[in-house]
């Protein structure tokens, strides 16, 4: 149940939403292929930095990416809502709770990961300090109460690193799971309207593409491989979005004019 929680948070749940299983499967396949391509690139070519720096850099990029997604998505959704006729504006505005909830959950999970990472490094609670206090409490000059506190501190110094490490792994796992499902659903903007994932996905991925150009490559791969990897995501997302919008129009009669009641 706990493992399925990220999927529940990041999956569109509007009762009257039209869910096309073909679109959902293709979105999931696109995301999985993108992740596999990233893993392949890291496994085949040597990294330019250490593994810890690589992981921390990816977490930082994830946070920057979420900020870009929030900014670009907010602009796109605002334009969409303002372009709709007044009765629909209120309906769409009320449905914004879904994407905002996903962003809030991801922010909490990333915050927990960062907090536990700092704890593992000893930046929040120094284990050396706990150990020194424990050994001080064992001196003959201390009373029984101080001795009990020292024993408790000693146990804490032993258990806390393990607990922090496990919590850090759990936070990383849930962050990746929630982000994976959120990318499939374009952060649940489909709860606002079915056309929005197809309209916003190209805007989001191309924004991330231009930001990634300013960052150095993580692996020492040939330029042709790097640029093919960088362009593969935006181009595939754009092509799938065009097909998705066309399928919604031909199979379900949805288009931008009807969505805006124009």
pTM summary value: 0.75
> DSSP of 85-120, one letter per residue?
-HHHHHHHHHTTHHHHHHHHHHHHHHHHHHHHHHHH
Which pLDDT band holds residue 143 (cuts at 50, 70, 90)?
very low
Greatest mean pLDDT among 71-75, 118-122, 197-201, 217-221: 197-201
pLDDT of residue 137: 52
Q: What confidence category does residue 233 fall into, taking pLDDT thresholds of 50, 70 and 90?
A: confident
Instruction: Locate 23 and state its tokens.
Output: 């679109």
Q: Which of 76-80, 92-96, 123-127, 129-133 is predicted with the least confidence, judged by mean pLDDT? A: 129-133
Residues contacting 217, CB < 8 A, separation 6+: 48, 226
What mean pLDDT is predicted for residues 37-60? 72
Whether residue 133 contacts residue 153, with contact meaning beta carbons closer than 8 Å, is answered with yes
Alpha-carbon distance 259 to 254, whole Å? 7
pLDDT of residue 157: 60
Instruction: Determine the Cα–Cα distance for residues 61 and 186; give it in Å rounded to an integer.
Output: 17
> At 145, is the pLDDT very low, low, confident or very high (cuts 50, 70, 90)?
very low
Cα gap 41→50, rounded to integer Å: 15
Task: Tell me what pLDDT residue 245 has.
Answer: 93
Backbone CA torsion sign across 100, 198, 193, 16: negative
For the chain, what are the domain ranges?
51-96+192-262, 97-190
Residue 141 has pLDDT above 70, yes or no: no
Chain centroid to CA 138: 47
User: pLDDT at position 179, please?
Assistant: 79
Other beta carbons within 10 Å of 23:
20
170 vs 11, more confident: 170
**CA-to-CA separations, 158 to 131, 149, 152, 164, 167, in angstroms, rounded:** 9, 14, 10, 11, 15
* Residue 247, pLDDT score: 94
What local confidence, expressed as pLDDT, does residue 1 receive? 47
Is residue 142 over pLDDT 80?
A: no
Q: For residue 239, what pLDDT is reported?
A: 93
């Amino acid at each position: 149940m706990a493992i399925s929680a990220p999927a529940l948070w990041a999956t569109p749940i509007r009762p009257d939403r039209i869910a096309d299983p073909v679109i959902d499967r293709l979105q999931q396949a696109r995301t999985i292929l993108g992740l596999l391509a990233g893993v392949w690139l890291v496994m085949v070519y040597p990294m330019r930095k250490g593994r810890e720096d690589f992981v921390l850099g990816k977490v930082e990029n994830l946070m920057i990416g979420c900020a870009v997604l929030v900014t670009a998505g907010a602009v796109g959704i605002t334009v969409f809502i303002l372009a709709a006729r007044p009765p629909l504006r209120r309906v769409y505005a009320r449905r914004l709770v879904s994407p905002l909830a996903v962003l809030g959950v991801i922010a909490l999970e990333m915050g927990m990961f960062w907090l536990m990472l700092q704890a593992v490094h000893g930046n929040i609670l120094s284990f050396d300090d706990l150990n020194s206090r424990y050994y001080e409490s064992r001196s003959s000059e201390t009373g029984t109460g101080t001795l009990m506190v020292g024993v408790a501190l000693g146990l804490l110094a032993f258990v806390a690193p393990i607990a922090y490490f496990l919590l850090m792994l759990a936070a990383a796992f849930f962050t990746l799971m929630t982000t994976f499902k959120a990318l499939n659903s374009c952060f649940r903007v489909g709860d606002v309207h079915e056309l929005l994932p197809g309209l916003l996905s190209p805007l989001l991925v191309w924004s991330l593409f231009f930001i990634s150009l300013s960052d150095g490559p993580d692996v020492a791969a040939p330029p042709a491989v790097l640029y093919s990897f960088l362009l593969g995501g935006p181009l595939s997302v754009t092509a799938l979005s065009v097909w998705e919008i066309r399928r919604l129009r031909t199979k379900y009669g949805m288009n931008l004019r009807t969505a805006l009641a124009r």
